[in-house]
A and B are shown apart, each in its own frame.
Chain A
Amino acid sequence: MTSEAPKITIDFLIGMLKQVIEENPSRDRGKVADATWGPETLLEDTGFNSYDFVEIIFKLEDHFSIEIDYNANNNINDVKTIGQLCDEIAKLLAKKQVA
């Protein structure tokens, strides 16, 4: 049986990023309001940190009722922009298409 892979859009991801950053406030997150949110936006300008990556994956797993093969020690954490993050998450989600 083959199942359709869940799809993620940049707008959906940006919404999730904003939510994660709002839910996990810290002193270094003052730049959130000023950032221009789009594919080219540098994650560091949004206040995004490595733990947020885990939180995003956790939310996606809950949202799509799937398990994502992700380890926080992989180089995937080296992505710099929101667009790159979206691409990497899309790759993880695409793995779910395997029968």
Chain B
Amino acid sequence: MTRIVVSGLGIVSPAGCDTASFWQALLAGYGHFGEASTQPGKGIRVAEVQDQGFMEGLGLSPSACDRNALFAAAAARQALAAAGLGAGLPRPERVGVILGNSAGGQCSTDDQYARLYTQNKRPHPMTVAKVMVSSSASWVSMTTGATGPCFVTSSACASSSHAIGTAMQFLRAGLADIVIAGGTEAPLSAGTLLAWDAMKIMSRTLCRPFAAGRDGLMLGEGAGVIVLETEAHARSRGFTPTIEAAGFGFSADAGDIVAPNVDGMTRAMTLALADSGLDAGDLAYVNAHGTGTRANDRAETQALKRLFGDRPVPPASSIKGATGHALGAAGAFEAIATIMAIESGMAPPTANFDAPDPECDIDYVPNQARPMPIPAAMSNSFAFGGLNTALIFKALK
């Protein structure tokens, strides 16, 4: 089977707007948390992108692009530069763009419909182009020049994992040589925040995945982009890859629209292992979905135990204590963290871990980053609606 490799990473996140600062923040368990500045969502705790410098030099205007497209274009530019493709794409028709996004231009939707409902003013002419869920992929295509397969996958919190997994399949099938894959989300509008708050699952303190004192999730924002490429193509242009995108598994629960399901989670992870050709015992680290909600973290713990059976579950951690939950970008953030964990031989910690929960009795790498060899690792994403994904990356010898 065609081997797929990682040739570049790019990120815009509440934990940093380049891979080096993102990684430093993850290892320190730090992300920027504050209170939403939008009315009437004010007071809800969120994780926001702080450094607005990510937009510089993109040549994009917030009046034409929703925030999620700005994030995506900035992350794609970084990832292409890291891949040695910053100066231009070879055969652009062989370069795809597959991004995850859960709900389109939510800030633009809010802004424009608020004008309509509160001021009786018609929406701006660019509203449709800004709010359509595929807009971010189009802007990445336009800013990079990629003219191959280009679309958005939308599966709530698994959107960008589905995008990365789908990109792997497109490359294996020979439909492209390179895919700019990942995801983006800009959900911190008043309407979206209040809708999430109505579910009564938002933290009022900090996001504390798997910990006894966890009281819910915290929404985040940003984009993560991974340049995926066939190994043959990467080597033919003189690029020496170090990480393989080895496995992708996905499943649907056919169960509940919001409740997690241990069976569905386990099946996605099992299928990812089968796709990668690895055994569970080969995984040295798991980057967990770990939202900090009571329901997800218990179910994911059970699923991991079921996957590993009699073998010990390797150290696992959730980075959402540092990044917040960026929904359609979360899987990309976490795939990037998984890749960087393999590259650096360091498991990022689960931040804000106050005390162990007896129902989450796995080594969740509490608060302190841990140096350890990580030849292969898995990243989980489990979405509302019972849509589950797992991605496996491994070091190339």
* B293: nearest chain-A partner, CB-CB: A73
B200 touches A50 (CB 8 A): no
B256 touches A72 (CB 8 A): no
In the complex, which of the residues A26, A50, A73, A77 contacts B215, with contact meaning CB atoms closer than 8 Å?
A: A73
With an 8 A cutoff between CB atoms, is B295 at the interface? yes
Q: Which one, A2-10, A14-22, A33-41, A51-59, is touching chain B?
A: A51-59
B198 touches A73 (CB 8 A): no
B201 touches A71 (CB 8 A): yes
By a CB distance below 8 angstroms, the chain A residues around B255 are 26-28
B200 touches A77 (CB 8 A): no
Q: Mark A56-95, 1 if CB is under 8 A from B, else 0.
A: 0110000000000011111001000000000000000000
- Bound-state Cα–Cα, A58 to B259, Å: 18
Given contacts A54-B199, A54-B200, contact A72 B259 (CB under 8 A): no
B215 touches A71 (CB 8 A): yes
A51 touches B256 (CB 8 A): yes
B257 to chain A, nearest CB (A): 8
By a CB distance below 8 angstroms, the chain A residues around B295 are 50, 72
- Bound-state Cα–Cα, A77 to B215, Å: 13
With an 8 A cutoff between CB atoms, is B289 at the interface? no
Number of chain B residues close to chain A: CB under 8 A: 19
With an 8 A cutoff between CB atoms, is B214 at the interface? yes
In the complex, which of the residues B203, B204, B259, B292 contacts A51, with contact meaning CB atoms closer than 8 Å?
A: B259
* A75: nearest chain-B partner, CB-CB: B294
A71 touches B216 (CB 8 A): yes
With an 8 A cutoff between CB atoms, is B232 at the interface? no
Quick one: which of B219-255 are within 8 Å of A by CB? Answer: 255
Identify the interface centre among B200, B214, B256: most chain A CB within 10 Å of its CB: B200
Quick one: which of B300-338 are within 8 Å of A by CB? Answer: none
B198 touches A58 (CB 8 A): yes
Q: What are the 4 A-B residue pairs with the smallest beta carbon separation, nearest first?
A: A73-B294, A72-B200, A73-B216, A72-B201
9 other A-B residue contacts (CB within 8 Å) besides A54-B200, A73-B293? A28-B255, A54-B198, A54-B199, A54-B201, A71-B216, A72-B199, A72-B294, A72-B295, A73-B203
Q: Which residues from chain B sit less than 8 Å from chain A, CB to CB?
A: 198-204, 214-216, 255-259, 292-295
Q: Which residues from chain A sit less than 8 Å from chain B, CB to CB?
A: 26-28, 49-51, 54, 57-58, 70-74, 77
Q: Can you report 26 A-B residue pairs in the complex whose CB atoms are below 8 A from each other?
A: A26-B255, A49-B259, A50-B295, A51-B256, A51-B257, A51-B259, A54-B198, A54-B201, A57-B200, A71-B200, A71-B201, A71-B204, A71-B215, A71-B216, A72-B199, A72-B200, A72-B201, A72-B216, A72-B293, A72-B294, A72-B295, A73-B201, A73-B214, A73-B216, A73-B293, A74-B215
